[in-house]
């Protein structure tokens, strides 16, 4: 008789993964629990997760640093949706003989959301909708995107796709990152500029660089001071790339025209967070990757990872060093 194993899926805000409880592919010896709400501190997290053998995190909604992993004695398999997760400590997992595996499925959702934020923010669509419902008709005159300058901080896969849409709108697209050069940018119809020029010339500045020690806080008070008072800042990448307090001060003093933000330093935002009361903002709850296509891939990947792990052949392992410890 197979040993019963406890499995939990965290932060299922959209209640998408509840269907897995009735999925006949889930092994019968798995007792599945799903938490819809977020645990706000590591003490509560550890308290609720101690008994679980398999834990699934939805992207980076819940972090698993060393101090948490060391207090989960029953954990054997830690799954992240997507193939990377900067908030999972892989070294600590390996030391504790925990397999960490990922799934496919993040896709290009942030591209769609970036343009949704841009268009709604500059044309005040979200505000006009609210006013129409209140019986108020026509308040804002927004700029056309054609002829404006789109700045891309980080011309990677998502940045290139965002720039392609900008060019289709008739925008001039400029970009900078520490790894970018003029020849690489030109291949995509983008003009390479230096960092100060990126901030000073962009009418819309969109962030698409990965969060790392090098990029953490790369957009601060100095960089924002270069921006035009008519310009907008968009972030669908990671919150800590921007120094949040510097952005709040700039918005409150009208140093820039507005910001569209999908990511934040701390998520979810707590009720008294200053950004919730900061003018000229459009905020979304980190939904860049939340598409039906991505979630279907996450779902299938989670099942595959669990089944392959139980068959002693784990797949998409993010800490392969652990395999020799477990299987020789």
Task: Provide the greatest CA pair distance for the chain.
Answer: 70
Catalytic residue among 59, 60, 223, 238: 238
238 is catalytic: yes
User: How distant is the alpha carbon of residue 46 from its chain centre?
Assistant: 23
Q: How far apart are CA 288 and CA 285, in angstroms?
A: 9
Contacts of 242 (CB under 8 A, 6+ apart): 207, 217, 219, 220, 233, 235
List, edge to edge, every strand of the sheet that includes 232-235: 191-192, 172-176, 149-153, 204-207, 232-235, 258-261, 281-283
Catalytic residue among 267, 300, 304, 316: 267
66 is catalytic: no
Are 280 and 257 in contact, with CB atoms under 8 Å apart? yes
Are 155 and 107 in contact, with CB atoms under 8 Å apart? no
Q: How far apart are CA 105 and CA 298, in angstroms?
A: 6
61 is catalytic: no
Active-site positions read: 238, 267, 286
């Amino acid at each position: 008789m197979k040993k019963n194993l406890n499995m939990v899926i965290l932060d299922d805000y959209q209640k998408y993964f509840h269907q897995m409880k009735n999925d006949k592919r889930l092994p019968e010896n798995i007792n599945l629990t799903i938490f819809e709400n977020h645990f706000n501190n590591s003490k509560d997290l550890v308290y609720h997760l101690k008994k679980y053998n398999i834990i699934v995190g939805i992207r980076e909604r819940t972090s698993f640093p060393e101090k948490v992993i060391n207090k989960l004695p029953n954990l054997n398999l830690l799954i992240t949706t997507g193939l990377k997760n900067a908030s999972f400590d892989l070294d600590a997992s390996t030391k504790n003989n925990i397999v960490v595996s990922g799934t496919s499925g993040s896709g290009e959702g942030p591209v769609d959301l970036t343009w949704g934020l841009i268009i709604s923010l500059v044309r005040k669509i979200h505000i006009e909708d609210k006013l129409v419902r209140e019986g108020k008709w026509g308040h804002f005159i927004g700029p056309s995107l054609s002829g404006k300058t789109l700045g891309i901080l980080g011309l990677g896969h998502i940045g290139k796709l965002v720039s392609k849409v900008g060019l289709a709108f008739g925008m001039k697209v400029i970009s900078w990152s520490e790894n970018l050069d003029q020849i690489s940018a030109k291949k995509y119809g983008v003009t390479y500029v230096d960092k100060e020029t990126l901030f000073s010339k962009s009418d819309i500045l969109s962030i698409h660089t990965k969060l790392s020690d090098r990029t953490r806080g790369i957009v601060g008070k100095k960089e924002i001071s270069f921006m035009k008072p008519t310009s907008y800042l968009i972030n669908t990448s990671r919150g800590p790339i921007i120094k949040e307090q510097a952005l709040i001060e700039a918005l409150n003093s009208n140093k820039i025209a507005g910001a569209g933000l999908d990511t934040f330093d701390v998520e979810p935002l707590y009720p008294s967070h200053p950004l919730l009361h900061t003018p000229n903002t459009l905020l979304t709850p980190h939904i860049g990757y939340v598409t039906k296509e991505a979630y279907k891939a996450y779902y299938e990947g989670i099942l595959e990872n669990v089944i392959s792990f139980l068959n002693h052949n784990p797949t998409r392992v993010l800490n392969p060093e652990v395999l020799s410890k477990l299987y020789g």
